[in-house]
Amino acid sequence: MTINVDAAGMRRINLSTVLSVIRGKRTTSRIDISQITGLNKATVSYLVDELIQEQLVQEIGYGSSSGGRKPVLLKFNANAAYAIGVDIQITHMTTVVSNTRGEVVYRQTKQLAAHEQAALYQEKLVEMILVEVAAAMKATPPSPHGLAGIGVALPGIVNFAVGTVYYLPNINVANWDLQSVLSQHFKVPVFIDNDANCGAWCEFQHRNLRVQNLVHINAGVGIGVGVIVNGQLYRGKDGLAGEFGHMTIAAIGLECSCGNYGCWEEYASERSLLRYIRESGGKKPQAASGWSVVEQILYEAQHDNRAYIRAFHTLGEYLGVGIANILNGLNPEQVTIGGMLSRAATFILPEIERVLQHRAILLNKSTPLMIANANAVAIGAAELVIDQTLFSYPKQGNAIDT
Ligand SMILES: [Zn+2]
C-alpha cells in the first residue's frame, strides 16, 4: 500500500508516535524512544525538543546506565491541559474536570427532574449543562494548553461524527443537534457521544488493562454497550454501533421504549429490577432524598430484604444472558460493567458469571469481568475531548524517518 504524505504530515505522524510512547510509559528516554519507534536518534531528539517546548513533555533528571552517558529521563506532562466531561443519565448528571491522564480534579453530581414533554426536557437539560459546565470551568486549574473542550455523554443513539442525538429512547427525544446548541455558548470545542462509548474509552485508556479489545456495559435505566476493537472505539457505519441494549433476547417479549419487543434492556435494566421486586412480592421502594431508587434497593438488600436480593439475582441472570451473547459475537479480552446497577456487584456479578458458564462458548467463559470506575462515563467524555484536540495527530502504525 502506498501512502502519500508530505513533510509536514510526516512530522505530525512522528510527533504523535513519539508522544504516544512517552504518554504510555511512566518515564522513558530519547534512546528508548528511538529503539521502540525505529526513528533515528537525531529525529527523536528534534521531536522531543518540540514536545518539551509545547510543555507536553518534561525532563525529570537522569536514569541509570550500564556504561556510557546516563540518559535524560522524559515524562509526559499529565497537567498540560484539562477537559470537562458531562455524563447525562435519565435521573442525574455528573460533571468532572480531568487532566490528560483522566485524573479527576473536580466532580459534581446533580439530580435531574423528570419532564413529560421532550421539548421541556431538552430546554431544562441545556440550562443545566450551561450552569454545571460554568462551575466546572471555574474549578479548572491553569495549564499550558488550558481547557481543551467539553465532552457530553448521553444515554441514547448519538452520532459522534456529526454531533447529533438521533434518539434518546427513554425520554423520546429525537434528531437533536445538541453539539450546535452547546457550541453557541462556549469558546472551546464541544463533542457529544453515547455514554457507553465514553465509559469504554475511559476503561480502555486509564485502567492499565493492557488489552486491545474491550466491551463496556453501561447498565442503568437502559443498557448501553461500548466496544473497543484493536485499540479503537468501534462506531459502525453511521456511528450507531453498540446498541446491544436493543438486541432481542425474547422473540415474543415485553414491549420496549424503542418500539420493538423483547429487547435486552427490558430484562436487565432499572425498570426490570422494579418489576422483579413486584413479581417476587416485595414492596415498592420509597423515594428518599439524595438516594436513587437503586441505592435504596441495594441498602435494603444488604440488610437481608429477601425480595430485593431475589430481584438482583434475576437481574444478574438476564445481564449474564446478554453478556454471553456479546462475548460469543465479539470475543473481547475484557468486559467492564458500569452504570448505576454495577453498584450491586456483590449480588449481580456471581449470577452473571454463573450464566456465562452455561451460555458463553469455549474460551469466552473465562473472559475477565470487572466493575468499571464509578465515573468512567464522565471521565471518558473528557478523555475523548483530549484525544480529539491535543492528540489529534493522524494515527498510523510505523514512524517514518525524515
Ligand atoms: Zn428496545
What's the 200 CA to ligand 1 centre distance in angstroms? 21
* CA dist., res. 364 & res. 102, Å (int): 30
What's the 168 CA to ligand 1 centre distance in angstroms? 11
What's the 149 CA to ligand 1 centre distance in angstroms? 32
Per-residue pLDDT of the chain (402 residues; tens, 9 = 90+): 445 567 777 888 888 889 888 988 889 999 999 999 999 999 999 999 999 999 999 999 888 877 778 889 999 999 999 999 999 988 889 999 999 989 999 999 998 877 767 777 888 899 999 999 999 999 999 999 999 999 999 998 899 999 999 888 767 788 899 999 999 999 999 999 999 999 999 999 888 788 999 999 999 989 999 999 999 999 998 888 999 999 999 999 999 988 899 999 999 999 999 999 998 888 888 767 677 888 899 999 999 999 999 999 999 999 999 999 999 999 999 999 999 999 999 999 999 999 999 999 988 899 999 999 999 999 999 999 998 888 765 444 444 444
Q: How far apart are the first and last CA of the chain?
A: 19
> Do the domains at 7-76 and 80-201+379-389 have one common CATH topology?
no
What's the 255 CA to ligand 1 centre distance in angstroms? 8
What's the 259 CA to ligand 1 centre distance in angstroms? 6
What's the 244 CA to ligand 1 centre distance in angstroms? 9
What's the 210 CA to ligand 1 centre distance in angstroms? 33
Element holding 192 (H helix, E strand): strand 190-194
What's the 304 CA to ligand 1 centre distance in angstroms? 33
| Class of domain 211-371 as given by CATH | alpha beta
With both helix axes pointing from N to C terminus, report the angle between 30-37 and 41-53 in degrees, rounded to the nearest 10.
120
* CA dist., res. 344 & res. 315, Å (int): 10
The per-type count for the chain, helices as H runs and strands as E runs, is 11, 16
Instruction: Provide the residue ranges of all domains of the chain, joining segments of one domain with +.
Output: 7-76, 80-201+379-389, 211-371
* CB 336 within 8 Å of CB 371: yes
What's the 311 CA to ligand 1 centre distance in angstroms? 21
| Residue 207: Cβ-neighbour burial (10 angstroms; 0-12, 13-18, 19+) | middle
What's the 110 CA to ligand 1 centre distance in angstroms? 27
What's the 243 CA to ligand 1 centre distance in angstroms? 9
Match domain 7-76 to its CATH number in 3.30.365.10, 3.10.20.30, 1.10.10.10, 3.40.1350.10. 1.10.10.10
What's the 94 CA to ligand 1 centre distance in angstroms? 25
What's the 254 CA to ligand 1 centre distance in angstroms? 9
What's the 135 CA to ligand 1 centre distance in angstroms? 36
What's the 125 CA to ligand 1 centre distance in angstroms? 23
Task: Report helix, strand or coil for 106.
Answer: strand
* CA dist., res. 198 & res. 81, Å (int): 19
| Class of domain 80-201+379-389 as given by CATH | alpha beta
Whether the predicted model's global pTM rises above the 0.95 cut: no
